[in-house]
Amino acid sequence: MIKNIVILTGAGISAESGIPVFRSETGLWENHRIEDVCVPSALERDPATVENFYNTMRRNLHNVEPNPAHFAVARLQKEWKKGSVTLVTQNIDNLHERAGSENLYHMHGSLTEIYCPRCGTVFPCDRDVAPREDCPHCGAKGTVRPHIVFFEEIPYHMEEIEEALWSADLFLAVGTSGVVYPAAGFARIAASRGAVNVEFNLSASEQAGYFRKSVYGKAGTTLPKFVDSLLKDGDSFIESLPARS
């Protein structure tokens, strides 16, 4: 019987809102090479380029809106009464919060926060950030940086996420290519615990072998329908889904 649900979302859920996905085949993110904007050494070497990259994306949040897939996730979280619904997102945008999701882990950080690694203080942020700002809390010189997990760094909330995965009866992965670890390994963990895994994507992801069922198509169309049926018919709806094709 399905009680606890874990939903993992990736860049694909925000694609229909107009936020481009990460191009793993070219290694480009918003036309930038990962090694220029998303590794710790880039921040040391060229903080202006790194801050500008995140400033531009942060500003762009004002031009985008949550789409029906974000609202479907929030609805499932509010209306599912048989257990918990834990949302884990790899996205750094704020569209899940704006759609009404509350129980949410931003495992790769958030564009709307900055932090000081010296004292660990996290600050809400809705403005452009200059390179190497001083920390307003501890006064350390030039330490403030985006609250974003760079490649080579450890994602946030891993303990809570693994705990949720171990008690998951249903694991949904929405709009994620399954190439960025550790998130790419979550389907395997959930499957080993006996969860029913369902993938929502345009086509089979790198981790497709770990999904018992799949729903291919745009998440803004497929996810609201899925959530409607899950809330209405529960386990029998999940059983009725065709096996992964």
- How far apart are alpha carbons 195 and 86 in whole angstroms? 14
Cβ-closest residue to ligand NAD? 12
* Residue with smaller CB distance to ligand NAD, 135 or 155: 155
Asked if residue 146 lies in contact with residue 54, where contact means CB atoms within 8 angstroms, the answer is: yes
Smallest separation (angstroms) from ligand NAD to the CB of 219: 4
* Residue with smaller CB distance to ligand NAD, 168 or 173: 173
Q: What is the DSSP letter of 155?
A: P
* Residue with smaller CB distance to ligand NAD, 60 or 167: 60
Tell me the H-state helices in 18-83: 34-37, 40-45, 47-60, 68-79
The separation between the first and the last C-alpha atoms of the chain, rounded to the nearest angstrom, is 24
Residue 134: how many other CB atoms lie within 10 Å:
14
Smallest separation (angstroms) from ligand NAD to the CB of 95: 7
Among the listed residues 126, 172, 123, 182, the one whose alpha carbon sits nearest the alpha carbon of residue 149: 182
- How far apart are alpha carbons 177 and 10 in whole angstroms? 8
Smallest separation (angstroms) from ligand NAD to the CB of 212: 18
157 included as an active-site residue = no
* Residue with smaller CB distance to ligand NAD, 88 or 144: 88
Structure tokens at 142: 């030039």
Catalytic residue (one of 62, 108, 137, 157): 108
111 vs 27, 96, 129, CA distance in Å? 20, 13, 11
* Residue with smaller CB distance to ligand NAD, 15 or 135: 15
Smallest separation (angstroms) from ligand NAD to the CB of 8: 9
Smallest separation (angstroms) from ligand NAD to the CB of 12: 2
- How far apart are alpha carbons 54 and 58 in whole angstroms? 6
Contact residues for ligand NAD, defined by CB under 6 A: 10-12, 14-16, 19, 21-22, 24, 29, 90-93, 108, 175-177, 179-180, 200-202, 205, 218-219
Q: What is the DSSP letter of 195?
A: P
- Residues known to be catalytic: 108
